[in-house]
Every structure is written in structure tokens, then in C-alpha cells.
Structure 1
Amino acid sequence: DGSGNPMVIWGRMSDESVFFSRWTGTSFSTPVKLNPTGFTVATASWMGPDIASKGDTVYVVVKQTPENLSSSNIYIIRSFDAGITFSAPIRVDAIADSISRFPTVSIDEAGNPIVAFMKFDSKFMNSRWAVAKSSDYGSTFSKDVKVSGWSGMDAEICDCCPGAVVSSGDVTAMLYRDNLKNIRDIWTGISTNNNTTYTKGFRADNTNWNINSCPASGPDGTIIGDSLYTVFLSGGSGDFRTYLSRSSISNGKASTVSPLTGSITGLSQQNYPRIANSGNAMAIVWKQIVNGRTQIPILFTNDIAKGFSTTIENVDLNDNTNVDVAMTSDKVFVVWEDDNAGTITYRTGTYTPSTTSVKDEIVQGDFSIYPNPASDFIEIEPDKYPGLITIYNQTGANVLEAESQERIDIRCLPSGVYFLKIGNKLSRFAKL
């Protein structure tokens, strides 16, 4: 919430309900059932309702059951007081006789919800991902826009895998598992104009997983500057392993794709990764099975530019299912399902934010930036200057990354003075 306190939702399969609880400063509040009597929602250990917040504005999206009926729709439930009170469900999808499932939600800079969902025709065919946008804080929604289908003419989507919609500034990324002739890699549809249009998409996963059935495991992601960080499951190596990729949004391609861990003695399976960031700090959690026992590991860094620690800590051992993670500027929150106790369990940790100065060990760049000042794009001269381009603000925070290129899109940056770094060389420019 606006005070940095965690808010948690979870589903209960026995009566198809969704519950909410918030941290009050000393404990979690008494759980509140969000779906009204007679209104049931889809929930399982691997999918269900989703939550997003900005300050004290909270949005929860649900799929009404039975899932296979066109009369069962996607709804949003909202709060403007950090979850003290919630509205009645408000319908999101206006899709006639089509069928929907797997809602996911994000929030734009103005505090409006962005809702994505899987969409089928009336015969449960022609699957695709769609996004609907609100400009009145969830009171009404625009007609949904198709955001999948970028891998080829024969592209489908993996129709039992949830997706994730993430946003930053005017950029929104809809992450989903694609299905191109049983190659089930992670792709993303991209909007750079606050969900007005989706004009491109690209593969965030190069593991080439060929499998003839849906693995029922979706991606998660976060955006820092021009970089989209995506976590996902793949069996492309022959084993179920979790991965992290970093993609350039402006270039439309993944620059790195790496497994979250190296070789672990006794490791048989990994799944259900989740990712969160606060500024340049980042945390990743997932579930794995080692020597027949379940674990919830966590990877953390207070500065993603420096990479993750080589040490992987376990948040919990045994009897755990799915896990999620959230962050503030100095705390990490992890929540998971405890199978043995039949409870939702929570842990928190603290960290010191990175204080890296862009002036440390920097050599004045022998390249020029023009125009300077600039309002939308900048160019580097010489234009073939090699290396990863990193842009920092005046506090030293990494706000944008791009591969070497002639033009760099800076429209997502607020007005101010910035430092552009290539290797260990630095030049300054102003954004109007």
C-alpha cells in the first residue's frame, strides 16, 4: 500500500472464493472474502485471481465460474483505501459469445488498471491474449485488443498457461507462452503508447521447448528502463528448469537467457518463478524439488547492473506449493502456500539500497550525444560505438539500458539531466 505494507490475496478451491488480507503494522488483518455470495471464481494452485496496487489503490481481477461459459466473465474488484473496503465486482470483458480465462492486472502511471486475459471463440478455439484498458479507475473498460500471435502465421497460444501483464511509463508488456507447432517458448506483445495499440512482439525465451501438451506454467516479468526481465519455466534442456531473460524493448529481442541456478545435487524439478523489483533492486523466487523435498529459493540483488549474488538462500523447506514476491525500496516480501498447515505463509527481509555513483571510476566519453538537450530520441557519434548503453539519473539509478544502436528512445524518461555510460566512459545529456 502507500505506506509500504504488504497486501495478499489467495484462492480457496473448496468454495471457489478469493480472500484478501493486509498488514496492519503488527499482524495481518482478518481475511475478507472478496467475491459476493453466489459469485464463484476460478482458482487453483497454479492459477487464479491477480492483484496490483499503486499507493492505496488496489485492483483484484477474477474469472467467474464455470470457466467454459460465455456468460462467465472477467471482473475487477477495487479499493481506494488500501483494502479497508472493496467495491462490488465490475465486469471487464465485453466479448459477446466468446470465452475468457486467466485474468492478470497491472496499473499505469495515472493509477488506471490494465487487464489482460485469454480469449477464445464460442467453441473454445482460436485462443489468443487480449488487453482491455480503463481510463476511469476501473469503472469502464475499452474494447479489448489482441496482443499475441507474433511468432508466425501458424502461431497459437499455450491455452493452459497463465500470462502476466507488466507496465512502466507508456510501455506495457504482455508476457505469455506461445505455441508454434509445439514450440512453447515465452513471447511478449509490446505497447509503447499506454495500451492504445500493440504494434510489435518478440521472443523473450530462446530455449526452443518442444512439447505436445501444455505445462500449465506461465511467465512473470518486470520492466526497468528499456529492459524487460522475464522469468519462466522451460524443459528445453530436457529437465524442468527456471530461467531469467533480459530483453531490449526498443530493439525487440532478448540479449541474455540464463538458468536461475547451476547444477544442484539431487535437483529434479523447478517451476513457478516470480520476479519483483524496486528501482534497480530485484528478487526472484521459485519452487524446486531437491532429493524429493520441496524448497522455495530466492535470488536477490540490490543493483541488477551488478548481477545477482552467487549465494541462493532458501525461504522455506517442505510442504510448499506456489510462491510470490514483492518489494519496496528497503524490504522484500515473500508469500507462499503451506500445504501441510493449510495456510498462507509470509516472510520479510530488509536490504540496503545501492548507492552506486555514476561518477565512480568513470572516464569522460570520447563520443558525442545529439541532439542535446533532446525530447524524444538521442543519437551517439560515432554511431557504431560498441557496448551496452546504460543511462543513469542524477542519483545514480539505472533508468534505461539498450544495446549499441544509432537511435535511443528516451521518451519514457522524465525531464532532467542524465548520464550515458558505455563501458567505463560517460557523457551527459539533458531530457526536455
Structure 2
Amino acid sequence: MKHALLLLAITLNSVVFSQTITWEDPVPVSIDGQDNNRPRIILDQDGSVHVFWGRDADGQLFHNQMVDGEWDAAEMLLPEGVTCFTADWAGPDVGSFGDHLGVVFKRMPENTEGAYLIQSFDGGATWSDTTQIDLNLPEGFQTRMPSVAIGDQQMVHVSIMSFEGNYIDPEYIYTKSNDGGESWSAYQAMYGDFFSGEACDCCMADIAIINADPVIAFRDNEENIREIKCVKSESSGDNFESVLYPDLSETYANYCFSSGPHLLLQDGIMKIVYKSIEESDSYVTFTQMDLSDESIIESFIVLEETDGTARQNNPRISGSEALDFVVWEESQGLATEVLYAAREGGAQGGSFEIIDTLNVDLSGKQINPDVKVDGLTIHTVWQDKGNDLVMYRKGTYDPNGVNVEESLLPEVSAYPNPTNSSVNITGVKVESVQVFDLQGRMLVNRNSGVSGNDLDVSMFPKGTYNVVVNAVYTIKLVVN
């Protein structure tokens, strides 16, 4: 069975455009009951999907690949005697360029071992031995939470947190290998030359490449102001010349909430998502920057709740020329779901037109999503915490749905709006009504709760809802 979501938006040129995402049913890619956590997804040269995850019970690292539309049996990548740090909030990171796939991880015990790399140069058919990333840190220094980006000609870029003793003066450092991990450059520190304060010691960084130049994004911590900051190289990682400030939120927290940023670099544009806090609520914020002049093009909360219960975390972003796509986890009461937001790609900006729930099973906790977009195809994974499964779901985006001349459509509205009781829908004879919350959940279907053109919403919690009339007209309704 496939599912489609349709949202309509009336534009100034008198045309109603529709965008749709058609989803296949989710399928597990891991073994049940094995404490599988924090999946990550990449594509190889042929667009084949590769999923990686850790197993907290024994520190093992797993890989699975989709072949001809079917998932193989998952394979363990670490040799006997080697275990990695993996948890719900941090763990191994992955990157790819063509058929060169790379995974970095922190070997256990965390306080004595270093960061390691394992690679495939043939699209996951075979894997190298685990090799240590040689950092030559001063005596007494430790590392944690490495991130990786793979470039052309076997270039490997790594960012990793460094600190002394018991998490004293944590900062992110960078190193690269020009020969596929055989040797490593002297590390470069991000603090001192660029920033004061220290890095958030439980928030993973992200690293990505544009035109062979790495960009590192991480969460700073200066007197509990935990903002996202970036450094950009213009010399293939030999030096970092630019500092970027994408975060306008001034997020304050006197605790470590274990959430870092995620980058998407496209044609001189940086798109980044991260968790921010406003009045004790946590949101996913999206920022787009022009890398040529380091200016912010737009910055906004992707889905802003109105009832004071927002708990959003762990956002990830991917995209193509056609599509920007963001996933995150969101808690409501005891349940945690995976949500997504989609919009047309490019640098034109604007809000995300499609917002919905990704997981079909609405029970338990669905966390730690990741996404990779390939043209119009969307590949997503997440962690089913209740069943210890890694789930995969594939979607197809259609930016060119049905269009209708606005002059053929009557003006449809609801009154009063806002309301706390009922509304009357005017402008058309009501034949069907669906009401969706901002997570895409259907609360009213067809004639349920409808008497003629009246719609009773007195039992709805305060918030904003989308009312779809006769499967054509969408009204944004506020219940106060």
C-alpha cells in the first residue's frame, strides 16, 4: 500500500499548485531485539542505499545495503576485540563519494582509545581493516564524537572533539587524509583563533564539503548560550579562513541536551538545521546562508507549535535541485514520532509546504531519523526504540501536481476564526471535510463532526489546524 499527502496553496498568479509525496510502507533493515540505535544513511555511485547503525549492547557496528529493491542480511563491520561507542544521542558517523564509503567511530573504552576509520572502495562489497586516525594530541588529552566527510581522490575529512581530563576545555579539531587514511595532517583547533568559550561537550558536530572545501558546524557553549557556529575552509582544509554564524536563536540551557547541527551544501549555499530553545520549548530551526558573502538569506522555525508542548530534536537535512527535506523527532506526551518537512529546492527560500508524520506505527518511541535525497527520491531511516529496530521508508516527490485556475474556484473560508467552539464554512456546499493537526494527523474525516456547513471543534486542544474542504480547499483554522 502507498500513501500520499496533498496540500494546496493558492499563489498570486491565480494557479493552485499541488505537491505530493507518495510513500512506500516502512520496512525493518535490522534484526529485532538487538538494541540497535542511531542509524545513518548514505548512497553510493549507483544510488544504492547503505544504512549503518550501532548496537549498544556490545558496541558492534552494522551495515546493510539495498540490492535490487531488497535488503541484504545485515553485516557486522568490526573485528573481534574492537567495540565502538554508540548510544541514542551519539555514535558512528558516515560519508561517501561515489563508491568510496567511510565510517568513523570512537573505540571503547572511550577514555583510553582513539578514533578509528573503516572504509569501502567498492560500494560496500568489501571493507578495510579498522585504522586509527592519528592525531598526535598532547599527553592527557582525549577525544570523542568524530564526524566524517568523504571527497574525491580518496580524500577523508574528519572533525572530532578534543578535551583534557574530565571534559576540560572541550573543542572541535580537524584533520584530513589525502591518501585514503594512510596518513593524516596535523590537527587544527577551532578555538583560540576563532572562538572563545568552549564546545558543547555532548553535542556532535557535522562536517560537509563544497568544491573540495570542508565546512564544520558545531554547537558552542559560552556561559550556557549554546549557539551553532561554523568554520569554512577555502583551501581544501589546509586552513580555515571563514567563520559563519547561522544561529540567531541565542539558545540558553544550563544542561547539555545532546543535539548538534546538520549541514546541506549546494552551489554556494549552506542550509543547516539545528535544535533551538524558546521559552523552554525546543524547536527545529532552518537557516540558509550565502557562502559568498556569509549573509543569512532566511532563518525560521520549521514547525512552530502554539500549545506550548513542542519538544523537537535531532534534525537532519538532505536535498536536491528539486527538493529540500528535513526530518526530526518530536515528543508529545509519552509518544515520540518522526516528522518531516518538504519544500521545493534551490535558493529561492520560503516555508516548507508539506509537513507530516513519517512513521506509520504511532505507538512507542520513534527517534533518531536520517535522510538522503536523490533527485525526486527520498530515502529515510529511523530508530524504533520500542522494538529495537532500524526502519527504512522510501518516498517519491512530485513537484508538478494538478493545477487549476483560481478563477474557477470560489472563495472558501471559515467563521469565526479563531474560535473555541464551532465554525461555519462558507463559499461552497460542504460534501467532505478532513481536519489535520500540524503533524499531519487526521482528526476529522469526511462527515465526522460535520452538520451541514458547520464544524464543531470545541473538543480540540488549542492550536492551528488545516481544514480540507471537498478535497480541494484548505483553510488554516486557529482554535483558542
1:93-146 superposed Cα distances (whole Å, 9 cap, x missing partner): 323432111011112243411111001135542211111111112222211111
The match for 2:79 among 28, 31, 36 is 36
- 1:221 paired to 2:270: no
The match for 2:285 among 243, 263, 270 is 243
In 2, Cα distance between the equivalents of 1:214 and 1:21? 32
Gapped regions of structure 2 (runs ≥ 5) = 1-43, 401-480
For 1:326, what is the secondary structure of its paired residue? strand
Structure-2 residue corresponding to 1:15? 58
Structure-1 residue corresponding to 2:378? 332
1:280-319 map, 5 Å: 280-304=322-346, 305=348, 307-316=350-359, 317-318=362-363, 319=365
CA 1:107 to 1:88, structure 2 compared with 1: closer, same or farther past 3 Å?
A: same
> Would the aligned equivalents of 2:101 and 2:150 in 1 still touch at CA under 8 Å?
no
Structure-2 residue corresponding to 1:93? 134
1:69-96 superposed Cα distances (whole Å, 9 cap, x missing partner): 2xx0111100011111111111113234
CA 1:245 to 1:309, structure 2 compared with 1: closer, same or farther past 3 Å?
A: closer
Structure-2 residue corresponding to 1:118? 161
1:356-377 superposed Cα distances (whole Å, 9 cap, x missing partner): xxxxxxxxxxxxxxxxxxxxxx
1:214-247 superposed Cα distances (whole Å, 9 cap, x missing partner): 1111110111122211100111343111110112
Q: After TM superposition, which residue ranges in structure 1, 4 or more long, deviate above 3 angstroms? A: 148-152, 264-268, 306-309
The match for 2:122 among 81, 104, 115 is 81
- Aligned-pair distance for 1:306? 5.3
- Aligned-pair distance for 1:308? 4.7
1:5-404 map, 5 Å: 5-69=48-112, 72-96=113-137, 97=139, 98-122=141-165, 124-148=167-191, 152=195, 154-263=196-305, 267-304=309-346, 305=348, 307-316=350-359, 317-318=362-363, 319-352=365-398
For 1:229, what is the secondary structure of its paired residue? strand
In 1, Cα distance between the equivalents of 2:399 and 2:61? 34
Return the structure number with greater relative CO, CA threshold 8 A, min gap 6: 2
In 2, Cα distance between the equivalents of 1:144 and 1:53? 22
CA 1:262 to 1:122, structure 2 compared with 1: closer, same or farther past 3 Å?
A: closer
1:41-87 superposed Cα distances (whole Å, 9 cap, x missing partner): 10001110011111111001010111122xx0111100011111111
> Would the aligned equivalents of 1:109 and 1:168 in 2 still touch at CA under 8 Å?
no
In 1, Cα distance between the equivalents of 2:152 and 2:165? 35
> Would the aligned equivalents of 1:333 and 1:348 in 2 still touch at CA under 8 Å?
yes
In 2, Cα distance between the equivalents of 1:101 and 1:251? 33
> Would the aligned equivalents of 1:164 and 1:176 in 2 still touch at CA under 8 Å?
yes
In 2, Cα distance between the equivalents of 1:206 and 1:260? 14
> Would the aligned equivalents of 1:267 and 1:288 in 2 still touch at CA under 8 Å?
no
> Would the aligned equivalents of 1:185 and 1:209 in 2 still touch at CA under 8 Å?
yes
CA 1:146 to 1:105, structure 2 compared with 1: closer, same or farther past 3 Å?
A: same
In 2, Cα distance between the equivalents of 1:239 and 1:4? 38
> Would the aligned equivalents of 1:20 and 1:34 in 2 still touch at CA under 8 Å?
yes
In 2, Cα distance between the equivalents of 1:302 and 1:257? 16
> Would the aligned equivalents of 2:371 and 2:378 in 1 still touch at CA under 8 Å?
yes
In 2, Cα distance between the equivalents of 1:111 and 1:332? 27
In 2, Cα distance between the equivalents of 1:265 and 1:123? 40
Q: TM-score, normalised by structure 2?
A: 0.70
In 1, Cα distance between the equivalents of 2:286 and 2:154? 28
In 1, Cα distance between the equivalents of 2:97 and 2:225? 36
Q: TM-score, normalised by structure 1?
A: 0.77
For 1:301, what is the secondary structure of its paired residue? strand
In 2, Cα distance between the equivalents of 1:213 and 1:267? 19
Select between 271-280 and 340-349 the one with higher mean Cα deviation: 271-280
Larger radius of gyration: 2
In 2, Cα distance between the equivalents of 1:118 and 1:308? 34
CA 1:104 to 1:333, structure 2 compared with 1: closer, same or farther past 3 Å?
A: same
In 2, Cα distance between the equivalents of 1:6 and 1:130? 30
- Aligned-pair distance for 1:249? 2.1
Structure-1 residue corresponding to 2:462? none
- Aligned-pair distance for 1:201? 1.4
Which amino acid in 1 is paired with 2:366? N
Structure-2 residue corresponding to 1:417? none
Select between 177-186 and 110-119 the one with higher mean Cα deviation: 110-119
Q: RMSD of the alignment, in Å?
A: 2.1
In 2, Cα distance between the equivalents of 1:272 and 1:150? 29
CA 1:111 to 1:350, structure 2 compared with 1: closer, same or farther past 3 Å?
A: farther
In 2, Cα distance between the equivalents of 1:343 and 1:250? 42
> Would the aligned equivalents of 1:7 and 1:22 in 2 still touch at CA under 8 Å?
yes
Select between 11-20 and 307-316 the one with higher mean Cα deviation: 307-316
Residues matched between the structures, number: 352
In 2, Cα distance between the equivalents of 1:120 and 1:253? 32
Which amino acid in 1 is paired with 2:289? S
- Aligned-pair distance for 1:251? 2.4
1:389-415 superposed Cα distances (whole Å, 9 cap, x missing partner): xxxxxxxxxxxxxxxxxxxxxxxxxxx
